[in-house]
Amino acid sequence: MTIFSHSVPAKEKIREIGRGINGDFIDIIQTPSEIQKIATELMDSATYEILLLFPTTNSFYRAEFSGMLNSVWEASKRGVIVKMLIQGSEENDKLREIVQRVIRQGNLPVNLQYIAKPLETKISTLVIDQAVSLAIEINDDTKITFEESTGIAIYSNSESKISSSLTIFETLWIQSEIDIQNKVKQAYFQMFKGFQLKDELYTRRWSFDQQKSKRDKTL
């Protein structure tokens, strides 16, 4: 039994969690349609932050094509901070086109990073307001629809689960930034490759030195 088998909607559950009414819980969700519903309701309930990790390029495609990410775009419009990590090369034209089309057309302040290296685990992760997390297992990444590809999901407000999800997300985010910096460096060196640059010495006379020199000449 999951907490969503009760009649209380997700937004009220989030408020209850924030008020400390509920204790820690870990729910296993086994039905893809219910997982999708929970994910959407949680994103709709976000008040200040949404963290999204897509461990494969296809997992992002499925979330976008199923309409699940509409809640993310709407949250961004109302001022919620959105950070999204997508496994896949930034040079992937199809991926970049889809992502940038949605973000730019909507003029959305979404923080987006790409993960170049494949991840060991195929688990999509959603963290809302650093209070609840939803980890969704990918059974078959070759499937087109969310329902066909999804295994079980773990929904929790456990502090240890949240902390673990945040640590993984932050680590991957930092690694992505390092990869970007390395690409910039490589591009810089390629740009100047073959140039024989000279060491040149530049001197500058400060304004007060110039003024002093003029005074000396008038004396």
Look at 176 and 159; give whichever has higher pLDDT. 159
Question: pLDDT (tens digit, 9 = 90+) per residue, 40-64?
Answer: 999 999 999 999 999 998 998 898 8
What is the per-residue pLDDT for 138? Answer: 95
Q: Hey, what CATH topology would domain 3-191 get?
A: Endonuclease; Chain A (3.30.870)
Residue 109: CB atoms within 10 A of its CB come to: 12
What is the per-residue pLDDT for 4? Answer: 41
pTM assigned to the model: 0.71
Work out the average pLDDT over 196-202.
Answer: 52
Residue 194 pLDDT grade (very low, low, confident, very high; cuts 50, 70, 90): low
What is the per-residue pLDDT for 186? Answer: 60
Q: Which long-range contacts (CB under 8 A, 24 or more apart) does 105-108 make?
A: 106/73, 106/76, 106/77, 108/73, 108/76, 108/77, 108/82
Work out the average pLDDT over 110-118.
Answer: 84
The domains of the chain are located at 3-191
